[in-house]
Amino acid sequence: DTAVSQTPKYLVTQMGNDKSIKCEQNLGHDTMYWYKQDSKKFLKIMFSYNNKELIINETVPNRFSPKSPDKAHLNLHINSLELGDSAVYFCASRFRDRNTEAFFGQGTRLTVV
Amino acid sequence: AQSVTQLGSHVSVSEGALVLLRCNYSSSVPPYLFWYVQYPNQGLQLLLKYTTGATLVKGINGFEAEFKKSETSFHLTKPSAHMSDAAEYFCAVSTNYGQNFVFGPGTRLSVLP
């Protein structure tokens, strides 16, 4: 049983399109994250939710909108995709107040052409 | 706010040699520290973590790290490198009740035959 699962694993799309990436965790965690990993492997936090409430919203274009319908899901919707959005996007989850590690999904490789 | 630096974006060692990957953190409150490994085209896997207690922590695959508060460091070591250790390694920091889970820029480890 996969702890943190993301779909799709690969996403190739044209500039200007709108796309979504879904994330689900079955660990009962109260906090979920989206990270962007660029071509130099740098992991940049984008958003963080705690119990469905947005807590961290780093400097990310408004075209990126996270949605958390419940504690187990955190989806990422991207409007008007640009070439620079090409990256690997990772979802993660953890218990914020138990000093635990973050558990990561396998990533979604987004390629904008 | 917390931050992490990793000295050396790329480290090469010979098979059987000592592995030393450096991590220094900045935190105004007691930190919780983590090392993750990322193999090509995969997600992040936890190697080890320090939260409280013993400052020398052992992880998977023969890795260990020592928390040194006076040096604000959490360097990762392994006595004898194996070819299968070639991967990207990330140090991360969080804090008690902290929402943020921040990664360093990563160090790519190459193991030469």
Tens digit of pLDDT for each residue in A50-94?
A: 888 888 778 899 999 999 999 999 999 999 999 999 999 999 999
Select the residue from B99, B109, B110 to test the A interface by mutation, using most A Cβ atoms within 10 A: B99
Partners of B110 on chain A (C-beta within 8 Å) are none
Q: What is the pLDDT of residue B96?
A: 65
> By the 8 A CB rule, do B15 and B82 touch?
yes
A45 vs B100: CB contact, 8 Å cut-off? yes
Q: How far, in Å, CA of B35 to CA of B46, rounded? A: 6
Q: What is the pLDDT of residue A1?
A: 67
Q: Taking every pair of C-alpha atoms in chain A, what is the biggest distance, in angstroms?
A: 42
What average pLDDT does the segment B3-7 reach? 94
Q: How far, in Å, CA of B18 to CA of A60, rounded? A: 40
Mean pLDDT over each residue of chain A, to the nearest integer: 93
Q: How far, in Å, CA of B23 to CA of B19, rounded? A: 13
β-strands B10-14, B31-38: how paired?
Answer: unpaired
CA distance B7 to chain A (A): 14
Cβ-based burial of B22 (10 A; exposed 0-12, middle 13-18, buried ≥19): middle
Select the residue from A5, A39, A41 to test the B interface by mutation, using most B Cβ atoms within 10 A: A41
A101 vs B34, B42, B108: nearest CB: B34
> By the 8 A CB rule, do B11 and B108 touch?
yes
Query: Residue A75 belongs to what H/E stretch?
Result: strand A73-78
Q: How far, in Å, CA of A52 to CA of A30, rounded? A: 8
